[in-house]
């Protein structure tokens, strides 16, 4: 198992070209959030932007659009009206397909909510999407009872489960997963052909052939929303053209290192996921 460190990051992340423009720095479509979970969409969006993606498109419910638009002015918004529905559904698939065609990568799941509507939507996207994606949080919960859909996928997929989500995907107990995260991640990646980011105090990343570990991060990051920040970072790198394995490895290290930078100023007890976002720039400055 290989350790991810600053040298790994420096060797992998390319300097932005002198003639870079928003079209050359990748475009990301985010399908995240629901009524009551706008924060997940905000955190993942802000972290994706801080990680350098050229253009971010956010599918968003009209009911939460005013909230998110005020705090993420850099994004392009795709408001949809689902009536009294509190989450996305197959009703939105035409808008989604149109914008998948304009994007280099997809993020789905942060704060999405888990119900029949979102299950149908996520399962359709996993089976039919042609651009690489990050599948996080409720996106994973929406396929946990239909896990073999991953074998029918048409694109590269990075999954980002914590042990509880991994338990639902595999049928293993959290105790079994925590006892041997390397084997669990490797076995799952081999069987389903995905890159697995198994989150924990020391996060393990595997593509089934190579396995990595990151020791960056601290207990101050153990708060709701931290995973949304990670998903945004990884998907931003994926949209910029990095391989799924490199996106996952670099994303995990950037996330943990930004958390360590936040700890230096705020300590562990008082830091928030938004503080991780606010310190991403320091990690990039450290490899310039």
- 228 annotated to a ligand binding site: yes
- 20 annotated to a ligand binding site: no
Q: Report the distance separating Cα 11 and Cα 13, nearest Å.
A: 6
- Give kind and range of the element (H or E) at residue 9: helix 6-12
- 199 annotated to a ligand binding site: yes
- 138 annotated to a ligand binding site: no
- 203 annotated to a ligand binding site: yes
User: What is the distance of C-alpha 9 from the center of its chain?
Assistant: 18
- 111 annotated to a ligand binding site: yes
- 208 annotated to a ligand binding site: no
Decide: helix, strand or coil at residue 165: helix
φ, ψ for residue 192, nearest 5 deg: -110, -5
- 278 annotated to a ligand binding site: no
Query: Do 56 and 30 touch, CB atoms closer than 8 A?
Result: yes
- 200 annotated to a ligand binding site: yes
Q: Report the distance separating Cα 47 and Cα 51, nearest Å.
A: 6
**Total residues found in the chain within this entry:** 288
Q: Report the distance separating Cα 203 and Cα 208, nearest Å.
A: 15
- 117 annotated to a ligand binding site: no
Q: Report the distance separating Cα 250 and Cα 241, nearest Å.
A: 13
- Extract the annotated binding site for AMP: 199-203, 227
- Extract the annotated binding site for (6S)-NADPHX: 40, 111, 162, 228
- Extract the annotated binding site: 40, 111, 162, 199-203, 227-228
């Amino acid at each position: 198992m290989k350790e991810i460190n600053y040298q790994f990051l420096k060797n992998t992340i390319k300097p932005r070209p002198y003639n870079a423009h928003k079209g050359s720095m990748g475009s990301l479509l985010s399908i995240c959030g629901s009524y009551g979970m706008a924060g997940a969409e905000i955190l993942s969006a802000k972290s994706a932007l801080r990680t350098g993606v050229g253009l971010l498109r956010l599918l968003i419910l009209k009911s939460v659009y005013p909230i998110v638009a005020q705090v993420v002015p850099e994004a392009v918004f795709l408001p949809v009206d689902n009536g009294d529905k509190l989450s996305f559904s197959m009703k939105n698939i035409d808008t989604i397909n149109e914008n998948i065609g304009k994007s280099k990568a997809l993020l789905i799941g942060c704060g999405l909510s888990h119900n029949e509507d979102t299950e149908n939507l996520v399962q359709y996207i996993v089976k039919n999407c042609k651009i690489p994606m990050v599948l996080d949080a409720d996106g994973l919960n929406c396929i946990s009872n239909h896990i073999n859909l991953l074998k029918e996928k048409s694109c590269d997929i990075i999954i980002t489960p914590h042990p509880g989500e991994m338990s639902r995907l595999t049928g293993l107990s959290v105790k079994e997963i925590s006892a041997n995260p390397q084997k669990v991640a490797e076995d799952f990646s081999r069987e389903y052909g995905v890159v697995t980011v198994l989150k924990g105090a020391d996060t393990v990343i595997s593509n089934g052939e190579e396995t990595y570990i990151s020791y960056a991060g601290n207990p101050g990051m153990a708060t709701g929303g931290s995973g949304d920040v990670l998903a945004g970072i990884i998907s931003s790198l994926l949209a910029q053209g990095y391989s799924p394995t490199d996106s996952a490895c670099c994303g995990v290290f950037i996330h943990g290192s930004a958390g360590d930078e936040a700890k230096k100023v705020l300590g562990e007890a008082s830091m928030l996921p938004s503080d991780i976002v606010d310190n991403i720039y320091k990690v990039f400055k450290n490899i310039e």
